[in-house]
Structure formats: C-alpha cells, structure tokens
Copies of this chain bind each other. A is one copy, B any other.
Amino acid sequence: MPKVSPAHLDARRQQILDAARVRFATHGFARTSMTDLVEASELSVGAIYRYFKSKDEIITAICVQASLGLPATLTPASILDFLEHLRALERESGHARLVAQIYAEAAVSPELASLVREQLDGLRSAVVALLPDHEPAEAARIAEAFVAICHGYGQQLAVRGDVAPEPFAAAIVAVIGV
C-alpha cells in the first residue's frame, strides 16, 4: 500500500465531516444513515469506517467543531459582528440548523448532552474572561445571558430563515452595560 501522509488523512477526515454537516443540517441526524454519509462524502464505505466507527462518532466530531470563537473584546460593534458571523454561517452552511439538530439530540442522549455541557461551560468561561471589570458573580450572570441570546438568535435563523441581528446585539449590549 502506498504511504499516506497525516495531512492527507486529516483532509479526508474533514471531507467526511464537511459532507456530514451539510447533510445533518438539511435532514437531521435520525434521518441520515451511514450509507447517506458515504454517498454525501463521495468516498468509499471502507474509507469512512477507517475514520469513524459509527454515525455517533461523526456527530460527536461535528459537535466538537461546531463551537465558535468569541470576539477579542466585547463592544457594541464586536458583538454585532459576532452575530453577523453567526448569520453568515447559517446562510453559507446551515450552521444554525445544525445546532438545532445537536440540541435536539443532546436533549435525548446523555453522552452528547455531556459534550454539549462541556462546550457551554467553556463558552461561558470565555465570556467571563472578557469581563475582567465585573464582579465574578455578575460576570457569570452575564455569560449565561450572552449564551442564551446567541443561541436564541441562532434558533430564530434556523426556523425563520434570515433575521437581522440588531435586536439581539442590542440585548447583549444592554445586559453587559457597555
């Protein structure tokens, strides 16, 4: 067998995840089989199973990649940019619809729920780290609201189609008090 470089392996793995993400965002997890994912990725059955033992492993890998980086500082402009980025991701790749699938699955699967909880803990900690001038308890409260508003906005995008981000950005600004 010819040698395969790690970069090639990574690219193949990503090719599977990218195809699966699109398929999941448009059909949901339960209505997607490994056969559908083989077809969507344009790779062979053997190639897919080389990287992932099951659909659940693919869902987990996608969930790990689904978190978004926060802005470096929280200002009215950077908050609006962040929500515009969420909006663009939904338009370009169905990101918000994918998140809807992840939450629905996490709501009925303890394993995925545990992964999502970890990601949410990390996200709230990252928000707290951006609020060094706030009391810790107050920063924690703001972080809860920040995550809820971003998620709430994303889910409006998922079910209503395009929705302008300004009201949601204004809400975050009001909550932070910047």
Contacts and interface: CB of A to CB of B under 8 A. Distances in A.
A105 B20 CA distance: 17
Interface string A134-162: 00000011101101111111011011100
Count of chain copies: 2
Nearest to A177: B174
Interface residues of A, number: 47
Contact of A25 (B107, B141, B168): B107
Given A158-B103, A159-B116, A28 B26 contact: no
Contacts of A159: 103, 106-107, 113, 116-117, 120
Contacts of A177: 174
Contacts of A25: 107-108
